[in-house]
Amino acid sequence: MDIALFAASILFIVVSFVPLLPSSHWLVRVWEFPRLQISVIIAILLICHALSWTSDNYWLVINSLVITGLGISLLYQLVWILPYTPFYKKDVKRIEKSQAASTVSVLSSNVYMPNNDFRKLIAHVRNKKPDFLVTLESNEKWQKGISEIESEYPYRKFCALENLYGMHLYSKIPFEEATLNFLIEDDVPSMKVKINLEGQDTLLYFLHPKPPSPTENTYAKPRDVELAIVGKEISNTNGPIIVAGDLNDVAWSPTTRKFKKISGLLDPREGRGFYNTFHAKYPLVKWPLDHVFHSKHFALVHIEKLESIGSDHYPLYTELAFIDD
């Protein structure tokens, strides 16, 4: 058996289970992101082992053990990503827009602050005509760059920052309340708005916590705590709720699953697809960082990853139908 093949196999067996370590360090948590890519690599390694099968007793035992480890690792990875494939039960039913008494749509876009392709985002807004547009990583430059849409969105809440965590919210629906919060970190905002939808108080949360990474937070705890706080608040709230934004976490991570469980919200991507919104520039580095969750008061009309706007994220457009179950 080739030494390089053996070393690669051991490496990907190990990284498959590294996230089980009780640590929030980015070196541990980063392996939660590329589960799809790791699954593909493991499948290729299994094929290579099959092609290099030997009758030598010593290597036969080693090869068998490594293949078993790879097989277990592959199954483990697939358990995490399976809910975001068409082979899994859908979390949210889909209905036609014509069947809905009313709908609400959200376009969430991490614009990538150095990016200057304002026209591409404006084109998406003009095409989709969302009720809410939330821009993330937006600063004063972006606020001015897309200012022409303000006439179409009379209700707005802005927090322009130069630290990659600015946030701008544009709405066609009047705010009954609109609050800007800094839940965990003083330079990382989130927004919470209340609107009236079909006579009911409806809450929308827009989030963008920092990721665990060598250039951001060394540990994932601030992000995890922010999601837990919002999830707990939602669990104690009745009525329609929508959460959207770049959570800097993949849909299948334990943190996001915990948020979904605590909040009781639904994920319209389950049973439909990954909707990988990051990275827009690297074909082999793709995972779902931008999210939308909602309460049982909604059904899905449409969800779509839109064309690139020059950012490292694709915009995510979601239209929901109010069903008041």
Average pLDDT over residues 133-154: 98
Question: If you count them, how many residues does the chain have?
Answer: 325
What does each C-alpha distance from 249 to 58, 98, 142, 150, 198 come to in angstroms? 43, 34, 24, 30, 32
Is pLDDT at 1 greater than 70 in this prediction? no
Cis, bond preceding 294 (omega within 30 deg of 0): no
Question: Per-residue pLDDT tens for 277-303?
Answer: 999 999 999 999 999 999 999 999 999
Query: What's the pLDDT band for 55 if we cut at 50, 70, 90?
Result: low
Question: Per-residue pLDDT tens for 198-220?
Answer: 899 999 999 999 999 999 999 99
Query: What's the pLDDT band for 53 if we cut at 50, 70, 90?
Result: confident
pLDDT of residue 3: 87
What is the spatial distance between Cα 163 and Cα 137, in angstroms, rounded to a whole number? 8
Tokens 């009911």, residue located? 200
pLDDT of residue 63: 84
User: What are 20-26's contacts with CB under 8 Å, separation 24+?
Assistant: 24/212, 24/219, 24/220, 24/221, 24/224, 25/212, 25/218, 25/219, 25/220, 26/211, 26/212, 26/213, 26/214, 26/217, 26/218, 26/219, 26/220
pLDDT of residue 100: 87
What is the spatial distance between Cα 156 and Cα 183, in angstroms, rounded to a whole number? 20
